[in-house]
Amino acid sequence: MKQIIRVDLFMRIVFCNKIILRFQSGIIFGMLFTSCTFSSPAQDTVLNKYGLWVLHSLEQLQQTCLHDSGKAMVNLRRAIPGIVLDLRYAGTNNFMRQRLYPPLTTTYLRKAAADSLLAVQKELNKNGWGLKIFDAYRPYSVTERMWEPVQDDRYAADPRKGSGHNRGIAVDLTIIDLLTKKEFDMGTGFDNFSDTAHHAFTQLPSAVLQNRQLLKKIMEDHGFKALDTEWWHYYLPNSRQYELLDIPFARLKKMK
């Protein structure tokens, strides 16, 4: 049987700019912790009800970027010339049928993901094509709202784990013709929760399968991985090295 003890232990750890980890009560060496608090020079960060460490401020984000510039959040409209944005959760054209984001003129990804996406855009541009983005960074609190009506981790992220969108390294997108602005036919629209949207679904016209394969190959060639159940969703494979974020878009907009 696990033994629960109370402790008042202060432990300094090396995490970017010496974040202080304070355990208020819990279990050490086989004993379960019941609460813990992270403190940084910016502000305290408490593990949420699922035991996840979620950053809520730009100051906290900046601390994590001190030793890894790839963790910085970048404005995609600035970082990727010609990118087309159709940010579905800033309006009501989404599976929730409600506005989940404030009105947006841009969106964000970690620099590592944005750099890879820029390379994809440049390669597509050679053929007169480009990217259209449906979603990128998603605050953790929005993931909690999305989970309630779905509760199926094939189609919505379980807040007990968080998502690549919350970490700023996942993107929902398609390919468009730059001249006509028309989307390539992918067989379904965005946010389609049926087997038809799965990569393994092959009962589709050959042109659709070719379009999906084109998107998949170019994204994978530049370091992204595909989500099996959504043809539009791609993410960086090393997601756990990026912290979960619940920073409002209005705050990200203030970044230099």
Q: Write the pLDDT tens digit of every residue in 218-238.
A: 999 999 999 999 999 999 998
DSSP letters for 122-181: HHHHTTTEEEEEEE----HHHHHHHHHHH--TTTS--TTT--HHHHT-EEEEEEEETTT-
Q: Whose CA is closest to 27, among 14, 18, 36, 19?
A: 36
Q: Which amino acid is at 73?
A: M
Give the integer Cα–Cα distance in Å for 8 and 23. Answer: 6
Q: What count of other Cβ atoms lies within 10 Å of the Cβ of residue 225?
A: 17
Q: In whole angstroms, what is the distance from residue 164 CA to residue 241 CA?
A: 11
Supply the pTM of this predicted model.
Answer: 0.82
Region of residue 85 (left: phi > 0; alpha: psi -120 to 50; beta: else):
beta
Q: In sequence order, which ranges of the chain are alpha helices (DSSP H)? A: 58-64, 76-79, 111-125, 140-150, 164-167, 206-221, 249-252
Contact criterion met (CB below 8 Å) for 106 and 78: yes
> Residue 31's pLDDT is what?
41
What's the pLDDT at 26? Answer: 42
Please tell me the number of Cα atoms within 13 Å of 49 on its side-chain side: 4
What's the pLDDT score for residue 45?
63
**Domains of the chain from N-terminus onward:** 1-56 (no CATH), 72-252 (3.30.1380.10)
**Given this model, what pLDDT does residue 186 score?**
99
Which residue type, as a one-letter code, is found at position 220? E
Which residues of the chain fall short of a pLDDT of 50?
1-43
